[in-house]
Each structure stands twice: as C-alpha cells, then as structure tokens.
C-alpha cells in the first residue's frame, strides 16, 4: 500500500477526521466503480458508499493492520452492495429518478472503441467473474487479498480469473472478426 495512505490510515485511527475524509475522497472513484459493477444503479451506489463510509469511520480504530485498509474497505463495500441488492428485492420502492448519464460520459472521449468493447464485455460477465476481474485488474489487489475479501480459496480466485479471461478473449476476438467482416 502507498506509504502516504498508510500514514493517513494511522492518523485516521488516532481520531483525525480530516485524514479519514481525505483518504476516502481519494478512494471514491475506485469504490464507486466497484459498487457500480455490483449494484448498477448510481442511486444504489450512493447508498452503498454512504453506509461503507459510516461503517469504516466507526470501525477504523479496530483495524489491526493498516496495510490491509483497502482490502478491509472493499470487503465492507461488497457487503453493503449485497445488502442493497437484497433490499432492492424485498422493498417496494417508488419509481426513482433515472440515472443521470451525463456525468458518465464526461471524459470518455479518451477511451477508444476497443476499450469500450472490452469494458462492455467485462460488465456483461457473470457477477462472480466480473467481481474478480474488477478486484484484480482495476483495484490491483493481489490474489491472496481477493481470496480474503470474497472468502474463497486462492485456487478458486485463480480459476475464476482464468475463466473470465477465456470469456473476454473469446468475445474480443469475435468482435474483432465481425468488425473486419463488416468493413
């Protein structure tokens, strides 16, 4: 983990609220992206992030190894996302405001069409595979930590990654071929 992040975690553990907030602000994009991949709706991401923030704030003093802060946070977030999904199934909620897609498209002009295809392919993976891809490639977590977050064996994580790569490679090849055919 980044040295400064560890320092910030230490400060937060000693009761420095500002350090906690700075830390969280910086991690927001990664946490949002992970939540988005699980719950889909921005409204639900906001709920999951809110609860994660509150739980992390309450629990940070109990965290033993500051180096595992991010893994710990991701575990809380995944639990909260699952909670949101359970709640979505159970409660009758009023029609909600459709998502604002405007902000989603900001800055996306730097992403080329192949990246868009790949992103779509990742988002269309089965949830169990998608989560592993997110944690490994986007969050940069080592296999051991992913296993701990998802409560799986390291072998199971590797197997899922292998399967996910297989699906993605096949889809991307197929897209490549169809693009050639259509030109």
Partner 1 sequence: MNQRDLDQELRELGKANAGKVPDMIRHRQEEVYAALEALPMQKRSHHRKKSVRSVSPVYRFLLTAAAVMIVAIGSLIGSAAVSPAIAASLQSVPLIGSLFKLAAADLGLQTLEESGLADVVEASATHDGITLRIPELVYDGIRLSMIVTRDGEKRSGGILDQISTGNGTKPKYPNGAIHSFDAQIDGRSIYRQDIGWNMGLKAKRTSDPNTAIYELTPRSASQQFTSALPDAFTLTVQIGLEGVDEPFVMELPVRKQQAKVMSTIQKSREWRGHKLTLSEIQFTPITTQVLLSVVSDDQEWKRRLWFELWDDRGNVLGLIGGYGAHEIGHAGELRYNVLFERMAKAPSSIKLKAFLPEMEDPSSSSGSFKLNERGEAIKNYINELEITVPVDQAELQKLYEISSKTRGDDKP
Binding mask 141-170 for partner 1 (x = CB under 8 A): ------------------------x--xx-
Q: Please report, for residues 8, 62, 63, 98, the alpha-carbon distance to residue 94 in angstroms, rounded to integers and kept in the order given.
A: 40, 38, 38, 12
Q: Is the CB of 116 or the CB of 155 nearer to partner 1? A: 116
- Applying the rule CB under 8 A, the residues between 64 and 123 that interact with partner 1 are 83, 85-87, 90-104, 106-107, 110-111, 114-115, 118-119, 122-123
Q: Tell me the C-alpha distance between 73 and 151, whole Å.
A: 14
Q: Does 16 bind partner 1 (CB under 8 A)?
A: yes
Binding mask 32-61 for partner 1 (x = CB under 8 A): xx--xxxxxxxx-xxx-xxx-xx--xx--x
Q: Does 7 bind partner 1 (CB under 8 A)?
A: no
The number of beta carbons lying within 10 Å of the beta carbon of residue 56 is 21
Q: Please report, for residues 2, 7, 31, 60, the alpha-carbon distance to residue 66 in angstroms, rounded to integers and kept in the order given.
A: 11, 9, 18, 9
Size of the site for partner 1 (CB under 8 A): 79
Q: Is the CB of 91 or the CB of 182 nearer to partner 1? A: 91
SS3 string, 43-65, reads HHHHHHHHHHHHHHHHHHHHCCC
Q: How far is the CB of 177 from partner 1 (least distance, A)?
A: 11
Task: Give the chain's largest Cα–Cα span.
Answer: 61
CA nearest to 60, candidates 50, 47, 48, 72: 72
Task: Tell which one of 142, 155, 173, 179 touches partner 1 (CB under 8 A).
Answer: 173
Task: Tell which one of 1, 4, 7, 18 touches partner 1 (CB under 8 A).
Answer: 18
Q: Is the CB of 91 or the CB of 183 nearer to partner 1? A: 91
């Amino acid at each position: 983990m980044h040295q400064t992040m560890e320092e910030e975690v230490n400060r937060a553990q000693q009761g420095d609220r500002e350090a906690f907030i700075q830390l969280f602000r910086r991690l927001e994009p990664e946490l949002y992206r992970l939540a988005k991949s699980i719950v889909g709706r921005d409204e639900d991401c906001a709920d999951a992030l809110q609860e994660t923030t509150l739980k992390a704030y309450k629990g940070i003093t109990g965290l033993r190894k500051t180096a595992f802060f991010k893994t710990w946070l991701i575990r809380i977030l995944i639990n909260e996302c699952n909670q949101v999904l359970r709640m979505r199934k159970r409660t009758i909620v009023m029609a909600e405001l459709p998502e604002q897609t405007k902000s989603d498209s900001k800055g996306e002009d730097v992403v080329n069409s192949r990246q868009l295809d790949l992103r779509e392919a990742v988002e269309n993976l089965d949830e169990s595979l998608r989560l592993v891809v997110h944690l490994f490639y986007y969050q940069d977590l080592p296999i051991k930590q992913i296993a701990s977050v998802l409560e799986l064996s390291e072998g199971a994580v590797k197997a899922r990654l292998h399967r996910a790569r297989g699906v993605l490679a096949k889809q991307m090849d197929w897209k490549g071929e169809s693009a050639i055919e259509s030109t």
